[in-house]
Amino acid sequence: MLPEDRPRALHDIGGVGRFLCERVDPSPHALTEFDREVDGLRQVLAMKRLMTVDELRRGIEALPEDEYFGLSYYRKWLRSITATLLRKGVISEDELRAALAEEG
């Protein structure tokens, strides 16, 4: 039995067969303003002790498989950050809905 046949979590992909024939794309990918801002926001939230990097990871690991492997890196971060802040009551669903409505 290979290690990957044990009950591993989705994100725990070291050595997993389905990726072994995938080539690594070494070309540079520039970050967008969106990427940088999500990254900066996470840092500020961590500095203010509103969420740990471990909570960020847990939220990413909880994404459905198609999102975990399909969404861009920082889109996954944003979803985890939002879910964490809602769960911890830092922001409420109503407040977020109102803020989204204002963005049009």
Partner 1 sequence: MPAPGQRVRVRDDWPETRGPCHIRTPHYLRGREGTVLRHLGDFPNPEDLAFARPAARLPLYHVLFDRTVLWPEGRAGDEVLAEVFGHWLEEA
Partner 2 sequence: MTMSATADEKLLRALTALLGQKGIVTPDEIAERVALTDAASPGQGARMVARAWVDPAYRALMLADGTRAAETLGIPMRGAPPLGVLENTAGLHHLVVCTLCSCYPRAVLGYPPFWFKSAAYRARAVRDPRGLLAEFGTVLPDHVRVRVVDSTADYRWMVLPLRPPETAGWDEARLAGLVREGDMIGVTQVAC
Binding site for partner 1 (CB under 8 A): 2-4, 6-9, 12, 14-15, 51-52, 54-55, 57-58, 61-62, 88
Q: Which of 1, 5, 6, 27 binds partner 2 (CB under 8 A)?
A: 27
Short-list 11, 8, 6, 95, CA closest to 59: 11
Q: Where are the alpha helices (DSSP H) in 1-104?
A: 33-47, 53-61, 65-70, 73-87, 93-103
Q: How far apart are CA 90 and CA 21, in angstroms?
A: 43
Give the binding site for partner 2 (CB under 8 A): 11-16, 18-20, 22-29, 31, 34, 36-41, 43-45, 47-48, 50, 57, 60, 69, 73, 75, 78-79, 81-82, 85, 90-91, 95-96, 99-100, 102-103
